[in-house]
Amino acid sequence: MVIMEAVPVRRGRPTAEDARQKMAQVLTVACEQFSELGYRAVTMRDVADKAQVSTRTLYNRYADKLSLFSACLDHGAAAFPRIDPAPGDPVDEVLRRYAVEVVKTLSTESSVRLGMLVYREGGDFPELLRAAEANQNSYLVQPLSAFLRRVGLARSDGDEPAKIFLAMALSEWQRRVTFRWPMPNDQEIDCHAALAVEIFLYGRKATNFAV
């Protein structure tokens, strides 16, 4: 009987999609590690091991732990809503929908845990505060500023109106995170968003909101 020797199957080079999926897995693992262990305790080697990539591969993509953490923030921020209204959409309704979706995105468990990490460890690692601020500016402040300028609610040389609206829209969410209360439900989110829009646009509290 002739025994045929097994011929190893040659695999092709990884595709761009393979690489994208691998890096997405790396970020998923890194976000979990940062959320569970905190910034100080996480190491690049641990992330590489758990994501099943080499440390060399990880360092080729992210120069250091801060770069990896910043990428985690960007990865989460991809879920933020876009301000892309249809022609004729009322400004107040566009802002209300936007505020609702931003709060819902920030209320996910992973987002809250990363936010608490920045709040908790920002004193020891001020670079975390700078990374979080840069992330907020890129994904929230700048897109909102662009919309407000298009509709005549902001000047071309400043972002203050966008910052003010976001502070108002996120105030209840921020209060609950700070005091570790349960996240608001959909009805509470919608009610607060409508109130924030009313005050932002008209400078007064709407009469149809309970005191």
* Interval 96-134: pLDDT, tens: 999 999 999 999 999 999 999 999 999 999 999 999 999
**Cβ-proximal residues to 44 (8 Å cutoff; 6+ apart), any chain:** 55, 58, 59, 62, 64, 65, 68
Which of these three, 75, 93, 111, is where a domain ends? 75
Assign residue 109 the CATH number of its domain: 1.10.357.10
Structural domain including 71 reads 19-75
Tell me: do 162 and 60 sit in the same domain.
no
Count CB neighbours of 22 within 10 A. 15
Average pLDDT over residues 18-29: 88
Q: For residues 97 and 200, give the distance between their C-alpha atoms in angstroms, rounded to a whole number.
A: 14
Whether residue 2 has pLDDT greater than 70: no
**Cβ-proximal residues to 141 (8 Å cutoff; 6+ apart), any chain:** 159, 162, 163, 166
Count CB neighbours of 101 within 10 A. 17
Tell me: do 58 and 88 sit in the same domain.
no
Q: Which pTM was predicted?
A: 0.84
